[in-house]
Chain A
Amino acid sequence: MGEVIVITSGKGGVGKTTTTANIGASLAMLGKKVAVLDADIGLRNLDVVLGLENRIVYDLVDVVEGVCRLKQGLIRDKRFEGLYLLPAAQTKDKSAVTPKQMQDLCKELKKIYDYVLVDCPAGIEQGFKNAIAGADRAIVVTTPEISAVRDADRIVGLLEAAELNSPMLIINRIRIQMVKKGDMMNIEDMTDILAIDLLGVVPDDEYIVISTNKGEPAARDEKSLAGQAFRNIAKRIMGENVPIMDLDIQEGFMVKIAKLFGLK
């Protein structure tokens, strides 16, 4: 029996979809059978980030309504063995499915897959309720901004109310130089407020923009720092004990180069 993990944030634009795609890809690279499920009906993106848009024939709503079988709706990823996508419908809206239907769908999926990752839409309305309905665990994504942390806090509250206890936190898009200068919230500030377990810290990485536009998850790239962070997160989800990446070292290296050229 697999596990259903919902990836949520409350606030939009913090990187839920990118996180879902990359954790999905990382878990698949580690030999797991993974289904990623786009719950953002009407504003689907996960298919684009994974570069699978042109393969969509059936979607989540078709599966739920019984237009096609579950197997027909699932798209096999072109690069990652064991990674499957169930895309959202674009021409419908959130009311096209009910939490009960999502629950049943998740139940079916976790019979077949080791991990089912649900990409939750922004907000706390119907789409959010659908997305968390079938989940066993939750991951809350936030960025080091007060607004994002505020929304994440609300989400943690709602998750606990829905009996999804002890959600895990991913801090996305952190810039260690700015944190050091005191221009950006640091990790401790955020874990203090949210008081949930830290699953990972993902540095701000230009490569993410490139990979998203190409439709290729960064997790595959050995050089990408963010990719490395996502691979570590996947290992932690599987229960391995991987220390949080020391982003300071990376920065230290850059400073060394700067020093070398006499810039500092």
Chain B
Amino acid sequence: MTLNNNIEFKGTKDGLIIHLNESCEYEKLKEQLIEKLEHAKNFFIGAQIARIEGKSLTSNEESEIIDLINNRFGMIMVERTEPLEKTTACSTKEVFMGLDEGVTRFVKSTLRSGKKIEFKGNVVVMGDVNPGAEIVAYGNIVIMGALRGIAHAGANGNSNAFVSALRLQPTQLRIGKFIARAPDNSSYNPKYPEIAFIRDEMILIEPYLTKNR
């Protein structure tokens, strides 16, 4: 059967995690989830679901799934899944502290308009990030290509995070709780790598030159 890989259950001490395949359509996923749960109905009754992972769902889709879990199959949703915080008002202990050594996601393609990468760690992109694409990371963001879209490093409030790119030409740059935007008529397009970080409550961009380090 081909439908097995689209939905996976993982057991953790907090409860089950349902992982939905990112490349699968929502309707298909829903169908397969129902099929799977129906298949082992007795097994799942009373099970605790910690969260839903993988494919990002719209709030409607999400509530539909949660409704399904809670009401039709008698399982218990322990915690509602929450998207990454947009503005950061988190307490310090929740801030991602793995800037030097921490989980890192490698994205091995160019991100085109409409693509959004959200990750609770560092993100490295092996390609360009085009206008209209967005990266939101709790840690640092490194782009081995041109950054033309939006990047948000230290998204849950870590203002020590940095963003660097071979061509740093973002529509908008966010680090921690700071936001900077591209100047309106910019002809300044340096042909060398740059790095952006926070200094004195401001986003600072400087050339990335190895001999200075």
A residues at B contact (CB < 8 Å): 42-44, 51, 53-58, 62, 65, 67-68, 78, 90-92, 95-96, 98
- Closest residue to A43 on the B side, CB-wise? B114
Which residues on the A side are within 8 Å of B115 (C-beta)?
A: 91
Residues of chain B contacted by A65 (CB below 8 angstroms) = 59
Q: B114: which of A57, A62, A78, A90 is its contact (CB, 8 Å)?
A: A90
Q: Which of A43, A56, A62, A92 contacts B58 (CB 8 A)?
A: A92
Proximity string of chain B (166-189) to chain A, C-beta cutoff 8 Å, 1 when within and 0 when not: 000001100000010110100000
Please tell me if B190 contacts chain A, counting CB pairs below 8 Å: no
- Beyond A91-B134, A92-B58, A96-B58, whether A55 also contacts B114 by CB under 8 A is no
**Which residues does chain A contribute within 8 Å of B181, judged by CB atoms?**
54-55
Say whether B116 faces chain A, with CB atoms less than 8 Å apart: yes
Given A65-B59, A90-B132, A96-B58, A54-B114 contact (CB < 8 Å): no
Q: Which of B146-181 contact A (CB under 8 A)?
A: 171-172, 179, 181
Contact partners of A44 in chain B: CB under 8 A: 132
Any chain A CB within 8 A of the CB of B86? yes
Taking the complex as formed, is B145 at the interface, i.e. its CB lies under 8 A from any CB of chain A? no
**Which residues of the partner chain A approach B132 to less than 8 Å between Cβ atoms?**
44, 90
B171 in contact with A51 (CB, 8 Å): no
CB of B58, distance to nearest CB on chain A (Å): 5
Complex alpha-carbon distance, A53 and B184, angstroms: 10
Task: Please determine whether A91 and B184 come into contact, CB atoms closer than 8 angstroms.
Answer: no
Known contacts A53-B131, A56-B171, A90-B134; 6 additional CB pairs below 8 A are A51-B184, A54-B184, A55-B181, A58-B86, A65-B59, A95-B58
State the CA gap A95–B60 with chains docked (Å): 9
Q: Is B113 located at the chain interface by the 8 A CB criterion?
A: yes
